[in-house]
């Protein structure tokens, strides 16, 4: 697979480290609910089809991207930046 890093351009996926399902959103730092944290850590939709997922370009510029990828065909449709530089890279 090849991802287009918003900073570095198209690269092999092995330059990136998988960080999992982008729909798992950590509860706010003020949130102390065990249930909310459990859901964040353990609940996965694991779809067969479109999946938004986070990858870190660890062997490149080390910024994170959200990759929209079909888990059945491995077709990548979007690579978008996430993080402090989201707007800068968009």
Partner 1 sequence: MRYSALAILKNALGGNKDWSPAWRKPEPKASYDVIIIGGGGHGLSTAYYLASVHGITNIAVVEKGYLGSGNIGRNTTIVRSNYRLTPNTQFYEKSMELWRELSHSLNYNVMFSPRGVLNLACTPSQMDVFAERGNQMRLMGVKSELLTRDQVAKLNPGLDVSGSARFPIEGGLLQPDAGSARHDAVAWGYARAADQLGVDILENTEVTGFLKEGDTVVGVEVKRGGEQSEIRAQKVGVAVAGHTSRVMKMAGVDKLPIESTVLQAFVSESIKPIIPNVITFGGGHLYVSQSDKGGLVFGGNIDYYNSYAQRGNLPVWEEVMAELVAMFPNFARLRLLRSWGGIMDMSMDGSPIITTGPLPGMYLNAGWCYGGFKAAPASGWCFAHTIANDKPHDLNSAFTLERFKEGRPIDETGHGPTPWYH
Partner 2 sequence: MANSPDRLSPLDELAMPVASEGKTGVELSERLCGSLIQVQAWPKTITKTKAAITKITKKRAAVVMEVGPGRWLIDDDGEELEEELRGAVNSKMGAVTGLTHGRVVVGISGSKATWVLASGIALDFDLSAFAVGETQVSHHHEIGVTIHRTGVDSFDLYVFTSYARALWGWIEKASREVGYSIS
Partner 3 sequence: MSGFRLNLRDGVGSAIDGDKTISFHFDGKLYAGHEGDTLASALLANGETILARSFKYHRPRGVFSAGSEEPSALVTLRTGGRTEPNIRATEIEIYQGLEAQSQNRWPSLGFDAMAINQLAGKTFSAGFYYKTFMGPSRAGHKATNFWFFCEKFIRRAAGLGNGAKLADPDHYTRMNSFCDVLVIGGGAAGLAAADRAASTGAKVILCDERAAMGGSLNSAPDIIDGENSAEWAAEKASELADMGNVTVLPRTTVQSYFDDNTLLAIERVADHKIKPAENEPRQRAWNIRAKSVVIATGALERPIIFAGNDRPGVMLADAARRYTLEYATAPGKAVAVFTNNDTGWLAARDMARAGVIITAIIDVRSDVSDEIHAAGEESRATIHLGSAVVSTAGMRSLSGVKIANFNENTGEISDTVTKISCDCLAVSGGWSPAFHLTSQQGGKPEWDSELQAFLPGEPLQKWHGAGSMAGQFGLRKAFRSGEEAAVKALADAGLGEGESGVPSIEGDVIDHAPAPVFEIKSGGKAFVDLQLDVTADDVRLAHREGYISVEHLKRYTTLGMATDQGKTSNIAGLAIMADCRELTIPEVGTTRFRPPYTPVAIGAIAGEKYGHLAAERLTPMHDWHVEYGAHMYGNGPWLRPESYNRAGENVEQAYVREARTVRASVGIVDVSTLGKIDVQGPDAAEFLNRVYSNGFAKLPVGKARYGLMLREDGMLFDDGTTWRLDEDRFLMTTTTAGAGLVMEHLEYHRDVVWPDLKVALTSVSDEWAGVALAGPKSRDVLKACIKKCKVDDKSLPFMGVRDGEIDGIPVKIARLSFSGEMAFEVFCGSHHGLALWEALMKAGKPFDIAPYGLEALSTLRIEKGHVAGPELNGRTTPYDLGLGGMVSTKKNFIGSALVQREAFHEEGRLQLVAIKSLDGQRIQGGSHLVKGNVEEPGRSEGNSSSTCFSPELNCYISLAMLENGTKRHGEKMWAANPMRNAHVAVEIISPHMVDPDGGRMRG
90 binds, among partner 1, partner 3, partner 2, none (CB under 5 to 8 A by kind): none
Rounded Cα distance, 12 and 20, in Å: 18
Per CB under 8 A, residues contacting partner 3 are 1-2, 12, 17, 19, 26-27, 29-34, 36-38, 40-41, 54, 56, 58, 62-64, 73-74, 76, 82-84, 86
Query: Any contact of residue 84 with partner 2 (CB under 8 A)?
Result: yes
Cβ atoms within 10 Å of 3's Cβ, excluding its own: 21
| Site map (CB under 8 A) of partner 2, residues 20-59, x = contact | ---------------------------------------x
Q: Are the beta carbons of 67 and 78 closer than 8 angstroms?
A: yes
Cβ distance to partner 1 smaller for residue 76 or 85: 76
Q: Are the beta carbons of 65 and 5 closer than 8 angstroms?
A: yes
Burial class from Cβ neighbours inside 10 Å (0-12, 13-18, 19+) for residue 6 reads: buried
């Amino acid at each position: 697979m090849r991802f287009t890093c918003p900073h570095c351009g198209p690269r092999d996926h092995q330059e990136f480290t998988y960080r999992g399902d982008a729909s798992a959103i950590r509860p706010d730092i003020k949130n102390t609910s065990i249930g909310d944290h459990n859901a964040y850590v353990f609940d996965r939709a694991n779809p067969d089809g479109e999946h938004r997922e986070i990858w870190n370009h660890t062997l490149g510029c080390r910024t994170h991207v959200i990759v929209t990828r079909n888990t059945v065909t491995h077709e990548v449709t979007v690579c978008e930046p996430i993080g402090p530089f989201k707007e800068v890279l968009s």
